[in-house]
Amino acid sequence: MRKDSLSISEKKELALKIKAELEMEGFKTSWSDEIGIHVEDLPIPKIVPFDTAKLTISVDENYIYLQSL
């Protein structure tokens, strides 16, 4: 393991902090896996051609990945 790598428990702790902060801001969240969070019912501008959106946030090594679905 690299010196700057996060352990799985550190990744979980960081993901939990992100989830708690999002929920304090009023977002609905759920776990996608041990270190991933789904953010649902995002506000969508009226000019886009879809009516639902989901954001997935994953904690990995020294990065936080964001993926919109």
Whole-number pLDDT of residue 1? 44
Task: Report the C-alpha gap between 58 and 15 in whole angstroms.
Answer: 7
Instruction: Identify the residue whose tokens are 């700057």.
Output: 4
Whole-number pLDDT of residue 5? 77
Per-residue confidence in pLDDT tens, the chain, 69 aa:
455 678 888 888 988 999 999 999 988 899 988 888 888 877 766 676 666 667 788 887 667 777 766
Whole-number pLDDT of residue 24? 93
Task: Report the C-alpha gap between 67 and 39 in whole angstroms.
Answer: 10
Tokens of residue 15, six digits: 């993901």
| Vertex 35: Cα angle to 33 and 38 (nearest 5) | 65
E strand map for 6-52? 28-33, 36-40
Whole-number pLDDT of residue 32? 86
Give residue limits of the domains in the chain.
8-68
